[in-house]
Amino acid sequence: MTSPPLRLGVNVDHVATVRNARGGPRPDPVRAALLAIEAGADGITAHLREDRRHINDADMARLKAAISKPLNFEMAATEQMLDIAVATAPHAVCLVPEKRTERTTEGGLDVVGQHDYLLPYVDQLTREGVRVSLFIEPSTEAIDAAVLMKAPVVELHTGAWCHAVEVGDMGRAEAEFARVAQAAAYGAALGLEIHAGHGLDYETARRVSALPQIVELNIGHFLVGEAIFVGLAEAIRRMREAMEQGRAQSC
């Protein structure tokens, strides 16, 4: 059985992080998004955080106007963000947890405990014609909760697995990868579209691409870091190559 095509969503948040470190207009995340698409990205992801630490409101509007590929708007489930998302009308919204004290997203949504809180956001975005995804921990409980909310897409949080690989804790890494693989298979069997992201590099992207149920990876920080050394277009080319190598193993 042939695996479905695997898409790459490039997150441009940390282009904005570099810009904001100095102030002014450069580097421009919209320019980075256009270059990423030219280099082979299938879509662009941007997270408008409540504290606007990287992407800002104007960036989101400019991204929507400028890019020809789907825009994936990451946001916390708040009334303000819902209003902005409806006004922006992106292709997709990924609901993510958010804490002001964190450096980056630290885990998946509590979709089990927050079902009643999250459900109205899923419902309204769906009514607005936006494809909704939930950023969740790779667990069967979280998958079941996503199905109950009628979210069509989940993005599996790969951060715990990638961190274990990074620090060389291979026993933990194998256990975490098994969780990702099990959740991907379980979710796909229930009819969900499965994405994955957080902490991925060339090696971990290659391995997770071998899971046939996963149809999209969203990667940002690593690609922006690699761009310092090899350029953004080359970093994306290498990432696509790693993904294709992994995907070939699943066929």
> Over the stretch 103-132, which tens digit does the pLDDT of each residue have?
555 689 999 999 999 999 999 999 999 999
CATH number of domain containing 186: 3.20.20.70
- Residue span of the structural domain in which 120 resides: 7-250
The tens digit of pLDDT for each residue in 182-212 reads: 999 999 999 999 999 999 999 999 999 999 9
How many C-beta atoms lie closer than 10 Å to residue 198's C-beta? 25
141 in catalytic set = no
- Cβ atoms of residues 128 and 86 within 8 Å: yes
Q: Is the pTM of this model over 0.85?
A: yes
Tokens of 13: 């948040």
Alpha helices in the chain (DSSP H): 13-22, 29-39, 57-66, 79-88, 115-127, 140-148, 159-167, 170-189, 202-208, 221-230, 232-250
98 in catalytic set = no
Q: How many structural domains compose the chain?
A: 1
Does some domain include residue 50? yes
List all residues 6 or more positions away from 159 whose beta carbon is below 8 Å from its beta carbon: 105, 106, 107, 198, 199
Does some domain include residue 2? no
Residue 45 C-alpha from the chain's centroid: 7
Residue type, 71: L
Q: Among 14, 54, 74, 98, which one carries the catalytic annotation? A: 74
Q: Among 14, 47, 54, 157, which one carries the catalytic annotation? A: 47
74 in catalytic set = yes
Q: Among 54, 157, 195, 198, which one carries the catalytic annotation? A: 198
